[in-house]
Structure 1
Amino acid sequence: MPTIRETILAALHARLQPLAAQVLRDEVLPERISAAGLIILRDGQPGEPEVTLSPLRYHYQHRAELEVVIQAGTGRAGTFDALVAEIGTALEADRTLGGLCDWVEPEAPAPIDLPVEGAATLKAAVITVVLHYSTAGPLL
């Protein structure tokens, strides 16, 4: 039986699957990136929970990360912006991931250009997605 944390991360991954970009989870950056872009979901850190008693609950603000990468010649800034907007729309459509989370909150990206020897420059950013959820124990 998967933990609540794993169930939520799997739901976040599934939520991003319909996007035009390729969506991976905890994979290395592939050699080729499709024209629509690439998103790699990194599990991130659950952080220190707040704890309430009676009943005992651990309240997490888990910081997962989306690595967003575009490799295209002209128009890559527009393609990158469109992909970030798509991610935002997908997350806003269901801020609880089907009731698994209390709230899903993406943070604004800080895009950078990454030069690649012999290839078009990559435009990339990490989007932190804060997943608010509670569990009955830190290992559940």
Structure 2
Amino acid sequence: MPTPRETILTALHARLSALPATALRGEVLPERVPAAGLVILRDGEPGEPEVTLSPLEYHWRHRAEIEAVVQGADRDAVFDTLCASVGAALAADRTLGGLCDWVEAEAPRPVDLPVEGAACLKAAVIPVVLHYSTADPLA
């Protein structure tokens, strides 16, 4: 049986998979970026939890990351659309079906990456904070 952490990350990946862009989890950047863009979910860091003692519970602010990547002549507009669609997907259900207390994204910091012999990539990491609680630090 998967842990709550894995269940939440799987649900977040499923939410991203509904986007027009290709959604991967924990993969390396492929050689070709699809026309609609690419998002790669990185599991990130759960950080240090706050602990309550009665009952014992660990309250996490897990920081996952979504790498958003586009390529092509119209990359600025495609990148903007991709980031907006990630935001809309998260805003549509801030609890991922009741698995989290809250999901919130932070602003991306885009960069242009030159690619030899091809159109530049426009990419950014979108930090996503997942708020949830578990009864065990390994759950």
Shorter chain as denominator, the TM-score bin is: over 0.9
TM-score (norm 1): 0.98
2:78 alignment partner, SS class: helix
Partner AA of 1:64 in structure 2: A
Partner AA of 1:51 in structure 2: V
Aligned length: 139
Shift of 1:18: 1.1
**Overall identity of the aligned pairs, in %:** 73
Equivalent-residue separation in structure 2 for 1:76 and 1:121 (angstroms): 8
Equivalent-residue separation in structure 2 for 1:69 and 1:15 (angstroms): 17
**Unmatched 5+ residue regions in structure 1?**
none
Shift of 1:17: 0.9
TM-score (norm 2): 0.99
1:14 alignment partner, SS class: helix
**Corresponding position of 1:127:** 126
User: Within 5 A, what are the aligned runs for 1:49-64?
Assistant: 49-64=49-64
Shift of 1:66: 0.2
1:59-101: per-residue Cα shift (whole Å, max 9, x none)? Answer: 000000000000111x210000001000000000000000000
2:113 alignment partner, SS class: strand
Equivalent-residue separation in structure 1 for 2:82 and 2:125 (angstroms): 13
CA RMSD of aligned residues (A): 0.4
**Unmatched 5+ residue regions in structure 2?**
none
